[in-house]
Structure 1
Amino acid sequence: MGVSTSAPATGVRLVAMDFPPVNALPVRGWYELAAALRTAGADPSVRCVVLAAEGRGFNAGVDIKEIQAAEGHTALIGANHGCSEAFAAVYDCPVPVVAAVHGFCLGGGIGLAGNADAIVASEDATFGLPELDRGALGAATHLARLVPQHLMRALYYTSRTATAEELRRHGSVWRVVPRAELREAALELAGEIAAKDGALLRLAKAAINGIDPVDVRRSYRFEQGFTFEANLAGLSDGHRDAFIAGSNGKG
């Protein structure tokens, strides 16, 4: 359980999340993921990273049970900083990152997938931000990288999800495959990328990030301020408690 790294092909690193039962990451998990991504990207032999997950879904966001069990605001602040670091580690990775998404991709999962360079998804993958239902605000920055602006707003306000096929039609998902073929399809794309000149790939990643119209790290941190404001205003605890009660504390 935790974050693992492997080398399934020349020039490719596979970073996988495994936090049962639903890959709702605790504070330490976000930092562990950020460290693994940074280590992979710092290796000069690596030309592409695949970010994947084990279990029922790609990522269900933060561990709400951990936040509610902690004294004061320590866990909430830890989750805010941890998510910010993990999302930035994807975006700032010196080489392209391919996200292999299956099942649910919610909350923090959108931050990870939205900051990836490419997404390969299984047919059962769904993407969304249930933040308002959890007493939080955030990752609209990253959802806006996956769908058009007005759709992002409607999905955000309703907490609805979009399917992998819908995202493929919007151009943000590279390929949709049966779940059993997901890892192979993601590694196939990663292998095609890794066949390029490694030095040029790193220059290309820096160049493309440099022309991005939105500073994703600053934008997301701005959003997080409203999450903390909602918490201080007493708007969040009831939603988080209700979610835990309804899910039997499974995240």
Structure 2
Amino acid sequence: MSFSTIRLDVADFVATVTIDRPPVNAQNGAFREDIVRVFDELHDRDDVRAVVLTGSGKTFSAGADLKDRPDRSAPGAFPRHNRLVRAGFDCVLECEKPVIAAVNGAAIGAGCVLALCCDILVVAEESFMSMTEVDVGLAGGVKHVRRHLGESDARLMIYTARRITGPELYRMNAASVCVPRDKVVEAAQAIAAEIAQKVPLAVRAAKRSFRVTEDLPLHEGYLYEQSQTVALASTEDTQEALRAFAEKRKPVFKGR
């Protein structure tokens, strides 16, 4: 596949998706169509076990392209627009493979939400996230912000539109790693490579568990997780992992 706003590289079971829409990687209709296509492809590719998402240049994504707003006078324009916006985020959330955000610079509005859709955040010291909707009379992103930030910090971000820097995100426990900008993709790829060595079916089951149990009570959530373990127990890859552990060798997985 070819993409007009995204670069895709795959090596050693790790895919690196780079948003490439100069000058600030703003999100428009073409970008949303591209990101849905690329993540749908990665969802099914056997040669991909983890994904890194980053931006080209010094910006992760400056948010929605304001020149690409729907025409309010056209019936149905907003529902169609909002559906595509959601799809651009949902494809990351629903991708079976873990996605690591390498936040190399500004992640603003829709760019911030896109990063927060990822499973793990690696941020550059020079980066920042902000939700600027209240500055322009809009609202949104609350649910996504809440997934990674504590209640007080989430409200601080939403109500003030303040820039939260990489080191602050790390201090808030919103990000797992904070490194200089020139190391951020490398650090994210190292995490992806570590994940890629694990049992692929088990990693995918774990991601499903995170998604399915997010809003479930403890008992129902753990019950679902146990069902995943039962399903995995009879798979070839789990049996191979157990044999390799006992034989002190590197396992060879088949994805089944």
User: What is the TM-score with the length of structure 1 in the denominator?
Assistant: 0.79
Among residues 65, 68, 73, which one is paired with 2:67 in the alignment? 65
Contact 1:124-1:163 at 8 Å conserved across structures: yes
Residue 76 (structure 1) shift: 4.8
Structure 2 match to 1:55: 57
- Once the two structures are TM-superposed, the CA of residue 157 in structure 1 deviates from its matched residue by 1.4
| Matched residue SS, 1:112 | helix
Give the drift of 1:83.
2.0
**2:14 is the alignment partner of 1:15:** no
- Greater CA deviation, 92-101 or 73-82? 73-82
Counterpart secondary structure, 1:62: coil
Calculate percent identity across the aligned residue pairs: 31
Alignment match, 1:24: 26
Q: 8 Å contact 1:123–1:165 — kept in the other structure?
A: yes
Aligned to 1:41: 43
**Separation in 1 of the partners of 2:48 and 2:85?**
24
Cα RMSD for the two superposed structures = 1.8
Report how many residues are paired: 212
1:132 and 1:67 map into 2 onto residues whose CA distance is: 17
Q: 2: CA distance between counterparts of 1:212 and 1:138? A: 20
In 2, Cα distance between the equivalents of 1:80 and 1:134?
18
* Structure 2 equivalent of residue 236 of structure 1: none
Mapping for residues 1-251 of structure 1, pairs under 5 Å: 1-7=4-10, 9-67=11-69, 70=71, 72=73, 76-213=78-215
**More moved, 94-103 vs 160-169:** 160-169
Task: Report Cα offsets for 1:101-149 as digits up to 9, x if no partner.
Answer: 0111111112211111101111111011001122321111111122211
- What is the CA-CA distance between 1:36 and the residue it aligns to? 0.6
* CA distance in structure 2 between the aligned counterparts of 1:191 and 1:96, rounded to whole angstroms: 11
Shift of 1:75: 6.2
- Give the Cα–Cα distance (whole angstroms) in 2 for the partners of residues 75 and 52 of structure 1: 30
More relative contact order, 1 or 2 (CA 8 Å, 6+ apart): 1
* TM superposition shift of 1:170: 2.1
Q: CA deviation at 1:79?
A: 4.0
Separation in structure 1 between the aligned mates of residue 140 and residue 72 of structure 2, nearest angstrom: 22
Give the TM-score normalised by the residue count of structure 2.
0.77
Map Cα deviations across residues 158-206 of structure 1 (whole Å, 9 max, x no partner). Answer: 1112111111122221111111111111111110111111111111111
Write the letter of the residue equivalent to 2:69. I
Secondary structure in 1 matching 2:69? helix
- Asked if the contact 1:27–1:75 (Cα under 8 Å) also holds between the matched residues in 2, the reply is no
Read off the aligned partner of 1:6 and give its amino acid letter.
D
Report the CA distance between 1:71 and its aligned residue.
Answer: 7.0
Code of the aligned partner of 2:7:
S
CA contact (8 A) 1:28 1:82 kept: no
| Mapped contact 1:168–1:175 kept (Cα < 8 A) | yes
Instruction: Compute the displacement of 1:15 (Å).
Output: 1.2
Q: Distance in 2 between matches of 1:113 and 1:65?
A: 22
Q: Which structure would you say has the larger Rg?
A: 2
Q: Output the amino acid matched with 1:156.
A: I
